[in-house]
């Protein structure tokens, strides 16, 4: 149910040509929101464990650099409770994204961030000024 709620929020925030990235294992957000993933390797587990993880992380970071998604959604239960530290990926996020205005937490499951300097951030700032 929470995935449907977050997916509905994504639909309401993003324009048709904008994208998001979900860092975790809730790939249903892409299907429920009607959005395509912005990366080849998106599913958390192969990116964080196993012999090809470093190569997949490099590919993921290249895809994210190319696409610059407007939203970053982190599945807390996957990333912070079950997975090992993902330094290269989390370090890529940190300077590029800030918590979504109104608090980054979306229930006990997700953290939501907006791309610094992106179209969505500019729209949100215009709305906040009114």
Residues in CB range of 52: below 8 A, 6 or more apart: 46
Q: What domain count does the chain have? A: 1
pLDDT given at position 77 = 79
What the block records as the tokens of 96 is 């590029």
- Would residue 81 count as lying in a domain? yes
The pLDDT value given to residue 121: 94
Tens of pLDDT along the chain (130 residues)? 577 778 888 888 999 999 999 998 888 899 899 999 999 888 888 888 889 989 999 999 999 999 999 999 988 877 776 555 567 888 899 999 999 876 545 566 888 999 999 999 999 888 766 5
Whole-angstrom distance, CA of residue 13 vs CA of residue 9: 6
- Looking at residue 19, its pLDDT comes to 96
* Overall pTM > 0.95: no
Residue 98: give the domain boundaries. Answer: 2-7+18-129
Tell me if 71 is assigned to some domain.
yes
Q: Which of 52, 108, 59, 104 is nearest to 80 (CA)?
A: 108
Q: What angle do CA 59, 63, 69 make, to 5 degrees?
A: 145
Give the model's pLDDT for residue 89. Answer: 87
What pLDDT, on the 0 to 100 scale, is given for residue 102?
Answer: 63
Q: Is residue 26 part of a domain?
A: yes
pLDDT, position 28 = 86
For residue 13, is it within any domain?
no
For residue 120, is it within any domain? yes
Q: Judge whether 12 lies within some domain.
A: no
CB 72 within 8 A of CB 14: no
Distance from C-alpha of 18 to C-alpha of 7, rounded to nearest angstrom? 14
Residue 119 placed within a domain: yes
């Amino acid at each position: 149910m929470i995935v449907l709620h977050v997916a509905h929020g994504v639909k309401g925030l993003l324009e048709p040509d904008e994208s998001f990235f979900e860092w975790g294992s809730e790939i249903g957000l892409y299907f429920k929101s009607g959005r395509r993933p912005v990366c080849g390797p998106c599913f958390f587990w192969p990116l964080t464990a196993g012999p090809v993880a470093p190569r997949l992380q490099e590919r993921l970071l290249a895809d994210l650099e190319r696409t610059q998604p407007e939203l970053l959604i982190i599945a807390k239960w996957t990333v912070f409770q079950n997975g090992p530290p993902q330094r290269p990926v989390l370090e890529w996020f940190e300077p590029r994204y800030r918590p979504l205005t109104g608090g980054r937490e979306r229930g006990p499951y997700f953290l939501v961030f907006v791309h610094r300097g992106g179209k969505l951030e500019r729209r949100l700032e215009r709305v906040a000024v009114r």
